[in-house]
Amino acid sequence: MADLDPERLRERTEAAAHRWRPDASVGSIEELTGGSSSLTYTTTIRAGDDGERDVVLKLAPPGLAPVRNRDVLRQARLLRALEGADGVRVPTVLFDDAGDPPDEPPFFAMPFVGGDCFEPILQAGPQPEPDDVIRARELAAARMLAKLHAVDPATVGLGDEPALTLEDEIARWVRAFGTVEEGLRTGYERAAELLGATIPPALPPVVNHGDYRLGNMLCQGNEIAAIIDWEIWALQDPRVDLGWFLLFTNEAQHPSAAGNPPAPGVPSPEELMAVYVETRGEPLPDFAWFEALIRFKEASASALLTKRAMKAGIDDPDRLVTPVLKLIEQTIEQLEPWVKP
């Protein structure tokens, strides 16, 4: 990744802020650590009588084409579309700048949203919040997911976004399996074959976050202050998003939570599903197929992470390989009874 000129970024931020509010002034800019698909900076902006506010800049990596999960302007478009949506909380986009990629990457600015962010299931130690707070947040997230899926893409200006089919979703993770070594993908072709042979009728595509869970939300007390990290959002069947959310429960036995004690306060998948369905106002058919799909997806994503860890020389790689193969086996075991001999 190319180096970024911080002074040039400040100049661009000030110019973009002036286009938004001619009286805006921008303070110093500081980089936040973390993130690979985009860079994050903080600054302060003062405009008129509004006083000084903390602002976050989300920037595509310099030197790389701003496509796919690096397309920050696509993320900004989505956030603008969801602003004001009933029951959905996302950061507000203040302004953006297209830049001149790849040397001058695009960015957008949003107000700083306070709150804490952690994934209960993946916490190895004590939870940062009491059990009742975690429970309330999980239930609030289930309700908010149903509200997100109730947004009509065409009504909010996203009707021209190409929708992903269930076949597309299977193919995506098959391609990922094709990039890892043989020992990380035993049985994946059979699992993919079974998924393809048992695809249920699709529901109308809606906005999917792509990685919907508490770890991608800012929370204040019992409430969700904002859903963040929209790098892989897409229009697709709502059951894909819901299935992924329900994977982050004790009963689902997420492979990354292996060895951790059960996370206190996290409701069961059945309870979260019931809250989602109650908010949605109608049941979701054929959900068992999506449970199998999500295990296949998690197996593929975990295989990619394991491949990188093995290249880095991690000790005891078998402890990462075993959960991947188990997920593939579970996918096959769930779907094989559905296929006639």
Cα–Cα dist 238/341, whole Å: 31
The superfamily (CATH) of domain 6-111 is Phosphorylase Kinase; domain 1 (3.30.200.20)
The sign of the torsion formed by the CA atoms of 153, 155, 157, 162 equals: positive
Q: Are 310 and 317 in contact (CB under 8 A)?
A: yes
Domain ranges in the chain are: 6-111, 120-338
Strand partners, 236: 206
Contact 186, 321 (CB under 8 A): no
Architecture of domain 120-338: Alpha-Beta Complex (3.90)
Assess whether the previous peptide bond of 111 is cis (omega < 30° from 0). no
Tens digit of each residue's pLDDT, the chain (341 residues): 678 888 999 999 999 999 999 999 999 999 987 666 789 999 999 998 888 999 999 999 999 999 999 999 999 999 999 999 999 999 999 999 999 999 999 999 999 999 999 999 998 888 999 999 999 999 999 999 999 999 999 999 999 999 999 999 999 999 999 999 999 999 999 999 999 999 999 999 999 999 999 999 999 999 999 999 999 999 999 999 999 999 999 999 888 887 788 999 999 999 999 999 999 999 999 999 999 999 999 999 999 999 988 888 877 777 888 999 999 999 999 999 999 77
Of residues 105, 104, 130, the one with CA closest to residue 116: 130
d(CA 109, CA 20) in angstroms, rounded, equals 11
Closest CA to 212 of 189, 233, 185: 233
pTM here? 0.95
